[in-house]
Structure 1
Amino acid sequence: MNRPTKAALASLTLLSLAALTACGGSSDSETATDKPKSGESANADKAPSPSERLASTVVTTSDADGFRVDKPQDEFVFAKSTDEVTVDKPVCAPLAYAMNQLPLGNPEADLTRVASGQTDAETEMTKGIVYTYVTLSAHPSGDAQSAFADARKAVDACGDGFTAEANGDKSPYDSVTPEKVTPAGDESLGFASTLTSRAVQHVVHGEIVRSGDVLAVYFSVDGMAIANGRPSDAKLSPTVVKAQNGKLG
């Protein structure tokens, strides 16, 4: 995978620069791995832990035809936890988390995957590889509903944009707009956000789906377009979103 030059990285802090190479994102919490602990797997009657539940339901390459699904790397991560993020408008914090692969609410476990492939969304502006991030989080009773409500409030309240900051880097978002999405899970919402880099406008898209006590947060970006100063409109991959929603039930 081609990476942007150091000069390009130095000139941008938007989206934490993580999205520019599809390598940003938070580490899986609660040591959420794809393999159950040996002691737990030996007990067939024991309920899976939150991290095991997520690992068993997260989308994989075999689920998303034409896309490669990987664990993101931390090389250009904007923040490793929500505690590191400050937002000039606190109500907008859920959107800052959603667009930087950080979980919403107070989950018991979370993990992130990134799907890369030729875009299958209907858009004339984006041509080539688009990265769709998927962040799953498992929540205690009532927390997923509360986190989803906060995210909906953020979409409604942050139309004129906001700025997130972490570890000395700033990510300004010019605007936020609600978007219609295919209904999924118990409740779902979509949004688009615009940002400007070197006088070039880019549009990114997100979707949040609640299925019981699990939240799925989707976010898409054309990182190379941002690095190369080319306008972009990176819509979510329908293939990836449908595959993940299908696994959540």
Structure 2
Amino acid sequence: MKRAPLAVCAASLLSLTALTACGGGSGSEPAADKPKATASPADRETPAERLAKLMITEADVPGTEVKPPSKQDEKYLFAKSPGDVTTDKPACTPLALAMNQLALDGSRADLTHHIPENRRFTYITLMTYDTPDKAKSAFAGLSEGVGACGGGFTAKARVATAYDSVTAEKPVARGGDESLAFRATTPFRGITHTVHAQAVRSDDVVAVYFAADGMAMIQDRPGDAKLPAAVVKAQNAKLG
């Protein structure tokens, strides 16, 4: 499934300039003697449909606006697909993908929605995999990146962005089978901004949360947007 575009003015870490823009009948055999009916291909739930059901809505977090992407946002994308992203340290590529709402390696489908709060943006990206083991592998790559990229790295696609540091931190809300969290710093117009990310794996689904303060970038002041615990808890609970 093609990844959904980001919101206008979205806090896409690899495209920071976007932040400054804006029954049978009679005579039938008894049911017990019949073979079980199987769903036709058309009736089976696709990976994309499954993710749409798993994504939180405003009903899950009352008072919080959860917005899907729109077509007009595509011009703000850093990359249309994960394959368009390169880094100077390959181990750091999963981090770059996670902080730009791009699917981690091997996913069958992915879906991103965002929560705008005065240009402080929280993104939720859900990914589904063929098997739990493949989801574990993708999650492990992200975990390894946090450990290997503490000294920073540079990512490139439509633009290049430097990260000065990556630091592991405590998840705002644990969930699923495994969780991790990290923060990263990046300079923008000579000012250091801190962004936060968290990932959760639940069976064959991986969720990535990302938060950045777009208003701080517009106002040329340091930004440090935190992930909203209520949102993370609600999405974790929906994943099971």
Fold match (TM-score > 0.5): yes
Quick one: which of 68, 72, 94 aligns to 1:71?
Answer: 68
Give the residue type in structure 2 aligned to 1:234: A
Report % sequence identity.
51
The structural deviation recorded for 1:21 is: 6.7
CA contact (8 A) 2:13 2:99 kept: no
The structural deviation recorded for 1:116 is: 1.8
Instruction: Find the aligned partners of 2:179 and 2:21 in 1 and give their Cα distance.
Output: 25
**Cα gap change, 1:18/1:242 in structure 2, threshold over 3 Å: closer, same or farther?**
farther
SS of 1:80's equivalent in the other structure is coil
Question: Per-residue displacement from partner, 1:65-98 (whole Å, max 9, x unpaired)?
Answer: 2321112332311001011111000000000000
Instruction: Find the aligned partners of 1:46 and 1:59 in 2 and give their Cα distance.
Output: 23
**Counterpart in the other structure of 1:58:** 55
**Counterpart in the other structure of 2:136:** 145
TM-score normalised according to structure 2 size: 0.81
TM-score normalised according to structure 1 size: 0.78
CA contact (8 A) 2:19 2:214 kept: yes
Which structure has the greater CA radius of gyration? 2
Instruction: Find the aligned partners of 1:225 and 1:15 in 2 and give their Cα distance.
Output: 16
- Unaligned stretches of 5+ in structure 1? 5-12, 24-41, 118-127
Give the residue type in structure 2 aligned to 1:90: P
Give the residue type in structure 1 aligned to 2:84: E
Aligned pairs (5 A) from 1:1-249:
15-17=14-16, 20=19, 46-72=43-69, 73-117=73-117, 129-141=119-131, 142-167=133-158, 169-181=159-171, 182-249=173-240
**Counterpart in the other structure of 1:122:** none
| Alignment RMSD | 2.5
**Cα gap change, 1:95/1:18 in structure 2, threshold over 3 Å: closer, same or farther?**
farther
SS of 1:63's equivalent in the other structure is coil
**Cα gap change, 1:184/1:18 in structure 2, threshold over 3 Å: closer, same or farther?**
farther
Question: Per-residue displacement from partner, 1:13-69 (whole Å, max 9, x unpaired)?
Answer: 95313762798xxxxxxxxxxxxxxxxxx9699441111110001011222223211
Greater CA drift, 43-52 or 77-86:
43-52
